[in-house]
Amino acid sequence: MRKPEEDEIAGEDAREAAPDAEEIATPAGIGDAAPAAAPLRLSGPEDYKRIIEAALLASASPLTVPLLRLLFEPEPGGDLVRRLLEELRADWEKAGRGIELTQTASGWRFQTRPGYQVYLDRLKNEKPPRYSRAVMETLAIVAYRQPVTRGDIEDIRGVAVSPGVLKTLESRGWIDVVGHRDTPGRPALFATTKRFLDDMGLRGLTEMPALPEIERMMDLVDTAHLEANAAAPAE
């Protein structure tokens, strides 16, 4: 039988032989801050262009030229950044990929080419909203005649405009009240928003297409219905 003194000595030997518990739980390097990657050495415009490309691909929203200039130190001029953006757009266009670089009202962004969107929509659980003819006509009037009042829209359409039509467009973020006309009752003036231009992929109102093209781009109405109407003989 071992004596208590021998058990105590054996226990001390075991503790000395065993590695520290903290060392087992935390191996060397685990939990330590990862060393920061060394910044790339910029040797020419192509390096600037790759960084701009990476920033645009990583961004969830369009980026403006002033924002892109902040990527670099010293900061390059706006002319150089704009030239590199145009070169980058041409590079992706030449490659014939399903993604394109485009400039919208809010800045530059990568987006899916229109011809590929129908395939990506198959991965979505929810179908895109379909809006009525009244909504589309009201949107077109606001876009092409802005700023307009509800009375202006009714005069052009020849029918009363339901408050729900304007609410639908406001909730989507496509139109907003930008002021009030200085006439009795001070009716609200409606105009399109920057989000509307972004969703359309436009830089400004001067690029606005015709109404049927708006419908196709926004996928707001059944395109088969449009094609059937176009093919129908005139009465």
Question: So what's the pLDDT on residue 186?
Answer: 92
Average pLDDT over residues 97-113: 91
Average pLDDT over residues 102-123: 86
pLDDT digit string, tens, across residues 142-189: 988 899 999 999 998 888 888 889 999 999 899 999 999 999 989 999
**Which domains does the chain possess?**
45-115 (1.10.10.10), 133-231 (1.10.10.10)
DSSP string of the chain?
---HHHHHHHHHHHHHHSPPHHHHHS-TTTTSPPPPPPPPPP-SHHHHHHHHHHHHHH-SS-B-HHHHHTTSSSPPPHHHHHHHHHHHHHHHHHHT-SEEEEEETTEEEEEE-HHHHHHHGGG-SSPPP---HHHHHHHHHHHHH-SB-HHHHHHHHSSPPPHHHHHHHHHHTSEEEEEE-SSTT-PEEEEE-HHHHHHHT-SSGGG---HHHHHHHHT-S-HHHHHHHHHSPP-
Q: Lowest-pLDDT range, 63-77, 170-184, 207-221? A: 207-221
Higher pLDDT, 115 or 218: 115
In this predicted structure, the answer to whether residue 39 has a pLDDT above a threshold of 80 is no
Average pLDDT over residues 134-146: 88
pLDDT tier, 73 (very low <50, low <70, confident <90, very high otherwise): confident
Distance from C-alpha of 18 to C-alpha of 12, rounded to nearest angstrom: 10
pLDDT digit string, tens, across residues 195-205: 898 888 888 88
Question: So what's the pLDDT on residue 114?
Answer: 80
